[in-house]
A = this chain, B = another copy of it.
Amino acid sequence: MNLKQLAHMLALSQTTVSRALNGYPEVNEETRRRVMDAAKRHGYRPNPSARRLATGKSGMIGYVLPTGTAVDIDPHFVEFLSGLGDYARSHELDLVLSPADADDQETTYRRIVANRQVDAVYISSPRPSDSRVALVSTLKIPFIVHGRSEGFDFGYPYLDIDNEGAFHEAARLLVQLGHRRLALINGDDRETFAIHRERGVRRALAASGLTLGERHVCSLVMTEENGYRAARRLLEASDAPTAIACSSLIMALGVVRAVRDLGLSIPGDVSLIAHDDVFPWLKPENFSVPLSTTRSSIRLAGARVAERLAARISGLEEGARGEVWPVDLVVRGSVAGAPA
């Protein structure tokens, strides 16, 4: 059932039917009702390919997925996706993932924009002066960055959490508890979120005249194994930290294992605070010693990104609006006063 048939069966022109369906004003309400009714009754669904060709709009959100045999998709992605899906579902938006060589995403961005394959894109895990952000800003397409880039002389729309503030609070708490040697087990420090977290820790330490030792900050892909290795290296050193801030729950698993392997205890020998993106399958309160966390639901962020993207597509949102969400510090059993 296509427009032509529907129009013919209503003894109307395609123009009128199309307009009636799309809510244009120049059609009699009575006629509109008739059209709407017939459309529903016959299950008419405009062909998206045709509509897209005519309008250039696709009703899809795009995401360039970095891939490669050596590239692993971040497990956080799936949670973000859940949120995105929550919103997208109720607004008939689809999401298209365009896999791209991790080292050359630009080509893909250009392609999906030039082809008008999607109405908007989002960018995640940005780095300072991220080339994707720069590129997409010049392309005429609505977008939002999940996270933040830095060092541009132009603004851009983003949604980020207050990583610096979160880790500042976490470190400040540890310092207040008497800890003097803190360590930070961070994610990839080429990404902005990790930079911000380190900055937060440093600022808190500086406020008490302390510093983050060169060897007390690690930057690694966030796996359990890397958490273990980092913690092990830190704790075996002569100037072992008495408190650790950790960028992910998954790494924290490794940290806990390292602590145990070394015959130490949490929080007796080491206090631990990790960032929690809120996974349904791994909860900080269920760690053998309940884990203190800086918490922010990445799923909610996904939903919000979708919402703002939709707003941008329909022109309801414009300009370089940045949005920064505060992060909760949730104190549980894994922190205590510094050992004597």
Confirm or deny: A114 has a beta carbon within 8 angstroms of a beta carbon on chain B. Answer: yes
Q: Binary interface profile of A, 60-78, with partner B (CB < 8 Å = 1, else 0)?
A: 1000010111011111011
Q: Contacts A97-B94, A97-B95 given: A116-B77 contact, CB under 8 Å?
A: no
DSSP majority for the A interface? mixed
Residues of B within 8 A of A99 (CB): 84-86, 88-89, 93-95
A49 touches B115 (CB 8 A): yes
Q: Which of B73, B101, B115, B279 contacts A81 (CB 8 A)?
A: B73
B48 touches A115 (CB 8 A): yes
Give the residues from 104 to 120 in chain A that come closer than 8 angstroms, CB to CB, to chain B. 111, 114-117
Residues of B within 8 A of A96 (CB): 60, 94-97
Confirm or deny: A222 has a beta carbon within 8 angstroms of a beta carbon on chain B. Answer: yes
Q: Contacts A72-B280, A99-B95, A225-B286 given: A47-B78 contact, CB under 8 Å?
A: no
A224 touches B78 (CB 8 A): no
A288 touches B257 (CB 8 A): yes
Q: Contacts A47-B115, A288-B261 given: A225-B86 contact, CB under 8 Å?
A: no
B67 touches A85 (CB 8 A): yes
Confirm or deny: A52 has a beta carbon within 8 angstroms of a beta carbon on chain B. Answer: yes
A89 touches B67 (CB 8 A): yes
Q: Complex formed: what's the CA distance from A96 to B98 in Å?
A: 9
7 closest A-B pairs (Cβ-Cβ)? A85-B99, A89-B99, A67-B85, A223-B281, A72-B280, A78-B78, A95-B97
A contact set with B: CB distance below 8 Å: 45, 47-50, 52-53, 56, 58, 60, 65, 67-69, 71-75, 77-79, 81-82, 84-86, 88-89, 93-101, 111, 114-117, 222-225, 228, 250, 253-254, 257, 260-261, 279-283, 286, 288
A-B contact pairs, 30 of them (CB 8 A): A45-B114, A48-B115, A49-B49, A49-B58, A65-B81, A65-B95, A67-B82, A67-B86, A71-B82, A73-B78, A73-B81, A73-B82, A75-B281, A77-B78, A78-B78, A84-B99, A85-B99, A89-B99, A89-B100, A93-B99, A94-B96, A94-B97, A94-B99, A95-B98, A97-B97, A222-B281, A224-B281, A225-B283, A250-B281, A250-B282
